[in-house]
Amino acid sequence: MFKQLPNDAAEKVEVILNQQTVLVPLGTTVAAMALAQGLRATRTTPVSGAKRAPFCMMGVCYDCLMIIDGQANQRACATYVRQGMQVETQQGVGPLLGDVL
Amino acid sequence: MKNHYQLLIIGGGPAGLAAAVTAANQGVSCALLDEQPAPGGQIYRSIESVPEQRAQTLGAEYRRGKELAAAFRECNVDYFSETRVWSLNREREVGVLHKDKSKIITADQILVASGAIERPVPFPGWTLPGVMQAGAGQILFKSAGVIPDDGVVLAGSGPLLLLLAWQYMQVGVEIKAMLDVTPLSNNLLAMPKLPKALLAHHYLTKGLVYQRDLKRAGVVTKIAVSDLRAEGEDNLHAVCYRHLGREHRIETDLLMTHFGVIPHIWLTQAAGCKHQWDKSQQCWRPQHDKWGNTSIEGILVAGDGAGINGAKSAEHAGRLVALQALFALGVLSQEERNKQSANERKCMQSERHIRPFLEAYFAIPQTILATPDKDTIVCRCEEITAGQIREAVANSHADSNQVKYLSRCGMGACQGRQCANAVAHIVADAGGQPVSAKSHFRGRPPVAPLTLQQLASLEEQR
């Protein structure tokens, strides 16, 4: 679906995406990384369980919510990758709220 | 971050950056808050870090952001990047989230330069993974060099669609088709506005050059397309549409759509600024006078957040409104303000020449905005369909906010950003009234995500 053009000047960091370690240029958002890594859906909806993916890439549609470093409901398009970051596809409202609701 | 500033600028796009540079050398305490890690906003996203070759591909208009960002870096303002503004009220108290801590700061003059968002337009299948907004495609390209790998279908209406197609072509992205939903009848409506637009012929020429280049490259463009539909189970598999009376289907795993842009008004709405329906731009915008003053004293607007006029105009507006703020602060006399702003106003007026033509030519038809099929999801968050909205109207819920209370439409994570416009059109159409007579979803803080822990950090500072 997507590919990332090589950028030799950018420093690379290791990110763990759904238990797989991937090398990503710094300055990439989590949403851009997920798409470039071939992830089609980045979450399922709390209402019907439908699959969703980043839509606006500018922080206003809230469709790219993912679990980032254990925190659910993070906008993947407004979060930039860091060394050692753990990113997971989110199911529904995510693990924390899921236990309560 | 201080507790009080004389001038606070919210947003680091062209309007905010230009305003900061203007205000910086006048001896006032000034801060600029922005959510991004670096200046530029969405239009000049990643402008400081973009590899030179990519910047060349994106074009001269994008590269203009480099000068603006450089001037901003040199000027003396407190710059807080990666900072969210989650509240603004008429007392000019600003709720800020910075480094995971909340803070309330105040200012004498506040310039909201919140920019634009893409106009969200519901159509069947628009929630499927693989369907994105064209602006999203452009942000992926600008900020990360991420581009389509197996081709893309572009659909919708507006200059951005053409620009993105042209930019993609430069890096060898296969464009499976350009599906232009602009109705032919728009030509007639736009013709009377053409003479004025010719004053800004460089914009028109550029559009024609893009069209010529795409045609030469063999990109298939279909005009006056209707009944756009995205098909697939869990992901997009195909795009269907109607053209010259026949149904067509293109297999693709990626569709990017564009239906113009609208002001991002959630903050000015939450503050209680008066807003009005702009018929020509088919959107709400904050009411403001020619100096950028909103209905609330000391809250000003500039750039696309005040009404869509483009990045160049936003820069001039940023400077002009900064001069007004300096006048209000007593730093400049009225005469100095008027003198220094004369050229900015002139430039804004000349940037405006093309707009009535573009607005008429790329006006989104009522059939697309107001009458989506009953099963089409309108509220992406709460998954409320057009049929459910019409049912609510038939149940005498005659206003967007009433429909919201009844159906939860607009109550999800995006706070109605993706459905407010569509709901207003559908409600107005179903009730047989013009959309201008209808209200927008009420905006309330927090307008940005904020955890209870982050909110509670306010108490620690007391």
Strands (E), B185-264: 221-222, 226-231, 238-243, 246-251, 255-258, 261-263
B-chain residue closest to A65, CA distance: B413
Which pLDDT belongs to residue B335? 98
pTM for this one?
A: 0.96
Average pLDDT over residues B390-410: 92
B-chain residue closest to A71, CA distance: B451
Query: How far apart are alpha carbons B451 and B131 in whole angstroms?
Result: 30
Residue B244: pLDDT over 60: yes
B432: tokens are: 């047989």
| Nearest by Cα to B356 from B307, B413, B311, B319 | B307
* Residue in A36, A50, A75 closest to B127 by CB: A50
B-chain residue closest to A34, CA distance: B146
DSSP 8-state symbol, B375: T
Distance from CA of A24 to the nearest CA of B (A): 10
Average pLDDT over residues B403-426: 95
Which pLDDT belongs to residue B330? 97
Distance from CA of B195 to the nearest CA of A (A): 35
- What number of C-beta contacts closer than 8 Å exist between A and B? 126
Q: pLDDT tens-digit profile of B74-94? A: 999 999 999 999 999 999 999
- Superfamily of B4-117+262-332 according to CATH: FAD/NAD(P)-binding domain (3.50.50.60)
Q: Which residues of B touch A24 (CB under 8 A)?
A: none
- Please give the ipTM for the structure prediction: 0.96
Which pLDDT belongs to residue A97? 58
Q: Report yes or no: A50 at the B interface, CB cutoff 8 Å.
A: yes
Contact A63 B412 (CB under 8 A): no
Contact A50 B37 (CB under 8 A): no
* Residue in A1, A5, A48 closest to B145 by CB: A5
Which pLDDT belongs to residue B397? 82
Which pLDDT belongs to residue B444? 87
Residue from B237, B380, B407, B452 whose CB has the most chain A CBs within 10 Å, to mutate: B380
Query: How far apart are alpha carbons B341 and B122 in whole angstroms?
Result: 41
Query: CATH 3.50.50.60 occupies which residues in chain B?
Result: 4-117+262-332, 120-259
Query: How far apart are alpha carbons B51 and B29 in whole angstroms?
Result: 34
- Residue that the structure tokens 């709405």 belong to: B269
Cβ atoms of B410 and B269 within 8 Å: the answer is no
Q: Which residues of B touch A23 (CB under 8 A)?
A: none
Contact B171 A1 (CB under 8 A): no
- Per-residue pLDDT band at A9 (split at 50, 70, 90): confident
Task: Supply the CATH classification number for the domain A12-91.
Answer: 3.10.20.740
Cβ atoms of A81 and A13 within 8 Å: the answer is yes
List, in order, residues 6 or more apart from B340 with CB less than 8 Å away: B323, B332
φ, ψ dihedrals at B322, nearest 5°: -65, -40
Q: pLDDT tens-digit profile of B123-149? A: 999 999 999 999 999 999 999 999 999
List, in order, residues 6 or more apart from A5 with CB less than 8 Å away: B54, B145, B146, B147, B171
Q: pLDDT tens-digit profile of B18-71? A: 999 999 989 899 999 999 999 999 999 999 999 999 999 999 999 999 999 999
Q: Which residues of B touch A6 (CB under 8 A)?
A: 145
| Nearest by Cα to B341 from B292, B273, B388 | B292
Which pLDDT belongs to residue A94? 86
Residue A101: pLDDT over 70: no
Q: pLDDT tens-digit profile of B159-207? A: 999 999 999 999 999 999 999 999 999 999 999 999 999 999 999 999 9
B254: tokens are: 């990626």
Domain ranges of chain A: 12-91
Which pLDDT belongs to residue B443? 87
Query: How far apart are alpha carbons B2 and B103 in whole angstroms?
Result: 10
Task: Supply the CATH classification number for the domain B120-259.
Answer: 3.50.50.60
Mean pLDDT of chain B: 96
Which pLDDT belongs to residue A8? 83
Contact B148 A63 (CB under 8 A): no
Query: How far apart are alpha carbons A66 and A35 in whole angstroms?
Result: 13
| Nearest by Cα to A65 from A37, A30, A25 | A30
Contact A35 B412 (CB under 8 A): no
Q: Which residues of B touch A94 (CB under 8 A)?
A: none
Query: How far apart are alpha carbons B288 and B302 in whole angstroms?
Result: 9
Residue B460: pLDDT over 80: no
Task: Supply the CATH classification number for the domain B371-437.
Answer: 1.10.10.1100
Residue A100: pLDDT over 80: no
* Residue in A7, A41, A42 closest to B145 by CB: A7
Q: Which residues of B touch A33 (CB under 8 A)?
A: 144
- Per-residue pLDDT band at A96 (split at 50, 70, 90): low
Residue from A48, A62, A74 whose CB has the most chain B CBs within 10 Å, to mutate: A62
Which pLDDT belongs to residue B199? 92
Q: Report yes or no: A30 at the B interface, CB cutoff 8 Å.
A: no
